């Protein structure tokens, strides 16, 4: 039986080969905001560090099944997905085992499509736990894990930190997206660029916002995520910022971002 494209969850890969730009923070808080708006969301943790899992309060002992087991083909995505403290939000956790997965599946023909197959399986198997959005938190490199994320994704959401080197590496990322699109996944598009850790008192932050908007035009979301200490404290409490301090500027910005993401989705897929 063929799977209708609209019955599949929308898959967004949060990718940037730089570390520390806000991928994981955005995965956790955008996922929470989408869930708060009523979308059923699943965060897929594809970083061996497992920060998205930890930040959602999943301790290491609970990660009996993980995205490693999914990628080696020993577990369905729905079976490793754990519920979080946020209603409507689940997470497929990662463990350090992911570090070895590249070698383990390197000689498999379908090595780049493992996550895609798992997502398609979710649609067929997981009717009791269906999802509207899947957010894939990528590691900070272009390895087979990121390639799996880009092959599984409908679109890429690129977090860019408002700092001097923000644009450096962006053209390389865009090139990689084009390569994956040509070779592995013709559906792939850029959903948008989200500017993170914005500090309005810093002239450089303002300059970066202008530069990125000039370079990427309407691909840049209107919402800019401010640098906010509550956002950086939340993960150590195992909570998304939206649960830790709903009113803080960071939480409110992620809620606005979620509305923008949904609005763009409606434009991209009016029938869905």
Residues contributing to the site for ligand ADP (CB under 6 A): 19-25, 51, 140, 196-197, 225, 227-228, 231-232, 235, 250
71 contacts: CB under 8 Å, gap ≥ 6: 98, 101, 105, 114, 115, 118, 145, 148
Closest approach of Mg ion to the CB of residue 27, in Å: 8
Could you tell me the two tokens for 150? Answer: 């880009």
Shortest Cβ distance from residue 102 to Mg ion (Å)? 18
User: Quick one: which of 15, 16, 24, 67 contacts Mg ion (CB under 5 A)?
Assistant: 24
Residue 105: name the closest of 80, 75, 70, 152 by CA.
70
- Give the residue with the Cβ less far from Mg ion, 10 or 23: 23
Shortest Å, Cβ 35 to Mg ion: 20
User: Minimum distance between the CB of residue 25 and ligand ADP, rounded to whole angstroms?
Assistant: 3
Query: By CB under 5 A, is residue 227 in contact with Mg ion?
Result: no
Q: How far is the CB of 177 from ligand ADP (least distance, A)?
A: 17
Q: For residue 16, state whether it binds Mg ion (rule: CB under 5 A).
A: no
Please count the residues of this chain forming the interface with Mg ion, following the rule CB under 5 A.
2
Looking at 10, 18, 23, 227, which residue binds Mg ion (CB under 5 A)?
23
CA distances from 59 to 64, 74, 239 (A): 10, 22, 12
Which of Mg ion, ligand ADP, none is residue 25 near (CB under 5 to 8 Å by kind)? ligand ADP
151 binds Mg ion (CB under 5 A): no
Is the Cβ of residue 23 or residue 191 nearer to ligand ADP in the bound state? 23
Beta strands in the chain (DSSP E): 10-14, 41-45, 82-83, 89-92, 133-137, 155-161, 189-196
Alpha-carbon span 86 to 141, nearest angstrom: 29
Please count the residues of the chain. 272
Widest CA span of the chain, in angstroms?
56
Write the Ramachandran bin of 86: left for phi over 0, alpha for psi from -120 to 50, otherwise beta: beta
Segment contacting Mg ion (CB under 5 A): 17-25, 111-119, 150-158, 232-240?
17-25
Which residues contact Mg ion by CB under 5 A?
A: 23-24
């Amino acid at each position: 039986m063929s799977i209708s494209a609209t019955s599949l969850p929308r898959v967004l890969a949060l990718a940037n080969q730089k570390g520390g730009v806000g991928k994981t923070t955005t995965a956790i808080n955008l996922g929470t905001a989408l869930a708060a708006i009523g979308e059923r969301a699943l965060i897929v943790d594809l970083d061996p560090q497992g920060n998205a899992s930890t930040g959602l309060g999943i301790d290491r002992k609970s990660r009996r099944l993980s995205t490693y087991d999914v990628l080696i083909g020993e577990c369905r995505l729905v079976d490793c997905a754990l519920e979080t403290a946020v209603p409507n939000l689940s997470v497929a956790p990662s463990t350090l085992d992911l570090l070895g997965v590249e070698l383990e599946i390197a000689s498999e023909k379908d090595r780049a499509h493992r996550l895609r197959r798992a997502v398609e399986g979710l649609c067929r198997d997981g009717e009791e736990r269906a999802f509207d959005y899947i957010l894939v938190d990528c590691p900070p490199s272009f390895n087979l894990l990121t390639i799996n994320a880009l092959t599984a994704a409908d679109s890429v959401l690129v977090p860019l930190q408002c700092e001097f080197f923000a644009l450096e590496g962006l053209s390389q990322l865009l090139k990689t997206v084009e390569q994956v699109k040509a070779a592995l996944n013709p559906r792939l598009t850029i959903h948008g660029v989200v500017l993170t850790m914005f500090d309005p008192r810093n002239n450089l932050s303002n300059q970066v916002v202008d530069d990125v908007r000039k370079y990427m035009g309407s691909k840049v979301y209107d919402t800019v995520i401010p640098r906010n200490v509550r956002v950086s404290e939340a993960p150590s409490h195992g909570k998304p910022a939206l649960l830790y301090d709903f009113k803080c500027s960071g939480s409110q910005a992620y809620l606005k971002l979620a509305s923008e993401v949904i609005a763009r989705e409606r434009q991209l897929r009016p029938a869905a």
